Structure 1
Amino acid sequence: MSAGFTAEDGTTLAYDDLGAADDGRPPVVLVHGHPFDRTMWQPQATALVAAGYRVIVADLRGYGDSGVVPGRTLFGVFAADIAALLDHLGIARAVVGGVSMGGQIAMEFHRSHPDRVAALVLADTSPVAETEDGKAFRNRLADRLLAEGMGGYADEVIDKMLAPYNVTGLPDVAAHVLGMMRGTDPEGAAAALRGRAERPDYRDSLAGAGVPVLVVVGADDVYIPVAEARALHGLIPGAGLVVVEGAGHLPGLERPEAFNDAVARFLAEVGKG
């Protein structure tokens, strides 16, 4: 079911609430990355609903069908939106997963609302706070997107979002990713970039995580190399790690069967726990 609700500040947030949980298993909330929208999770949502899970996918404020708030959107605001959505749906705890920036927002949600997290899925993401150079880069990019729009940026990064061989080998996936990037409102993207530049370091909160955690990474991700994913995995006692062959930064779209299998096996273990 596609729907929307209004956050405390009046921003409309769009979401899909799909399926129904069997046997009391916690719902699964999936958080998209930048500059995408909730449609990036369609392969995962379809597979998980078929397996008997309730799945919630939302457009972050500034993206997709959600309202756009210019300026700067801190990760704490995105996390508060997830909490408000769970309240709206009457959900106390959920498995929270995210890719790239969405993974960082999942980490922020875990840091700020630990009692609401049943497990974490962290795909192609980093827990480390932004460097000074990184802050400057993100703020420059925000300025550029506001000045030029999303098209040139989308064309520049498509072969980093996807492994280059998948840009040509998976033309429908490439078209979907380009469409999401080009369709994002520059004001929403810029606000998120400015907030992302100010994110805290999540290593301490993850090291003390008392919930199951799965780390996933594409074998050919240039943004988050496998070595960085292994470092994230090593921070978290008992965490799992899956390297998806034949994928770059978005393995859930590039190799959905392998990605879905990893998540399904992880959720089965969470259910046993």
Structure 2
Amino acid sequence: MSRIISNGATIHFDDLGPADGMPVVLIHGHPFNRSMWRPQTAALSAAGYRLIAPDLRGYGHSDTVAGTTPFPAFADDIAVLLDHLELDRAVVGGVSMGGQITMEFQRSHPRRVRALVLADTSPVAETDEGKTFRNRLADRLLAEGMDGYTGEVIDKMLAAYNVTAMPQVAAHVTEMMRTTDPAGAAAALRGRAERADYRATLAATTAPTLVVVGADDVYTPPEEAQGIQRLVPHATLTVVDHAGHLPNMEQPEAFNTALVRFLNSLAL
């Protein structure tokens, strides 16, 4: 684990695989941390790719900044990380909120993007109802902590049948959620409520794009992924069977196959 200082916050990250491999930055979702990408480490390294996985500010080992963390701040942290590693461009991807931060990175730092990976995410701006929900949830996490929320949503983060069928995966996801600093999670939720609408950004992108979704994702179902593909006609879409909102953890072999195939195509 390494660390940098970005805009006043210490950001911890993993930098794994061959140093001369094509860099792939993977951004975790809410309320997780960089350890969610462990199932991808060996596959990417074996295929010759360099995996860079940060803990977003407010999550994992990175500093918590109370208040509100706007999505451009998350994107700027990724740019600072690339600068630190002396990388001009990278494949940038993420799951759920991490996918939305990826889209923000494409919007605000397009020249740094070699390709996009968008997993189980949505480009649409928050509705008024959604903004109210995010802010109320932020208040609740600050008041109550993460345990109650974790118990309520674990069977939505994973497909409900995988919570019992994959106890080790469920335990990992539960641990990430429960150990997240409520202040960091709340700050991200408030920033997420005010995120931009990324549909125009996606429609204008020429970057190669991989869209992945769990077949049984209840948060961002396959219809959302199909909507992204309509916005980015050159995108490749992969639907992962027997998975919910976190296919990289629920079905890592299928996810890794799609990801490595996509990365290999970039070199052609």
Which bin holds the TM-score, normalised by the shorter protein? over 0.9
- Aligned-partner SS, 2:267: helix
Q: What is the aligned partner in structure 2 of residue 44 from structure 1? A: 40
Shift of 1:237: 2.5
Counterpart of 2:56 (choices 56, 60, 75) is 60
In the alignment, the residues of structure 2 paired with residue 8 and residue 177 of structure 1 have an alpha-carbon distance, to the nearest angstrom, of: 29
Matches within 5 A, 1:183-222: 183-222=179-218
Take 2:149 and 2:47, find their aligned partners in 1: how far apart are those partners? 37
Residue 98 in structure 1 maps to residue 98 in structure 2? no
Q: What is the CA–CA distance in structure 1 between the aligned matches of 2:18 and 2:230, rounded to whole Å?
A: 34
Please, which runs of 5 or more residues in structure 2 have no aligned partner? none
Corresponding residue for 1:14? 12
Return the alpha-carbon distance in structure 1 between the equivalents of residues 219 and 252 of structure 2. 19
Runs of 4+ in 1 over 4 A off after TM superposition: none
Q: Indicate the residue corresponding to 2:266 in structure 1.
A: 270
Identity %: 67
- 1:180 aligned partner: 176
1:156-188, Cα deviation, whole Å (9 max, x unpaired): 000000001100000000000000000000000
Q: Residues 31-80 of structure 1: CA distance to partner in whole angstroms, max 9, x if unpaired?
A: 00000000000011221012111110000000000000000000000000
**Cα distance in 2 for residues equivalent to 1:14 and 1:235:** 33
Partner of 1:57, secondary structure, is strand
Partners in 2 of 1:270 and 1:234 — Cα distance?
21
Question: Residue 22 of structure 2 contacts residue 48 of structure 2 at CA under 8 Å; is this kept in 1?
Answer: no
Out of 130, 133, 138, the position equivalent to 1:134 is 130
Whole-angstrom distance in 2 between the partners of 1:62 and 1:227: 31
TM-score, length of structure 1 as denominator length: 0.97
Alpha-carbon distance in structure 2 between the residues aligned to 1:195 and 1:46:
33
Give secondary structure in 2 for the equivalent of 1:29. strand
How far apart in 2 are the matches of 1:38 and 1:47? 16
Inter-partner Cα distance in structure 2 for 1:88 and 1:233: 33
Structure 1: state its 5+ residue gaps: none
Distance 1:120 1:44 in 2: 16
Distance (whole Å) between structure 2 residues aligned to residue 19 and residue 256 of structure 1: 18
Number of the residue aligned with 1:170: 166
Are the counterparts in 1 of residues 70 and 191 from structure 2 also a CA contact under 8 Å? Answer: yes
Question: Which residue number corresponds to residue 241 of structure 1?
Answer: 237
Cα separation, 2, equivalents of 1:133 and 1:26: 41
- Helix, strand or coil at the partner of 1:265: helix
Q: In the TM superposition, what is the alpha-carbon distance from 1:26 to its structure 2 partner?
A: 2.8
Check the 8 A contact 1:26/1:118 in 2, yes or no.
Answer: no
1:15-30 correspondence to structure 2 within 5 Å: 15-20=13-18, 26-30=22-26
Amino acid at match of 1:4: R
User: What's the RMSD between the two structures over aligned residues?
Assistant: 0.8
Q: Hey, what's the Cα distance between the residues in 2 that align with 1:240 and 1:253?
A: 20
SS of structure 1 residue aligned to 2:104 = helix
Partners of 1:48 and 1:119 in 2: CA distance? 15
> Secondary structure at the residue paired with 1:60?
coil
C-alpha distance in structure 1 between counterparts of 2:111 and 2:36, whole Å: 27
Q: Does the alignment pair 1:5 with 2:1? A: no
Partner of 1:89: 85
Distance in structure 2 (CA, Å) of the matches to 1:132 and 1:202: 17
TM-score normalised by length of structure 2: 0.99
| Whole-angstrom CA distance in 2 between matches of 1:28 and 1:7 | 19
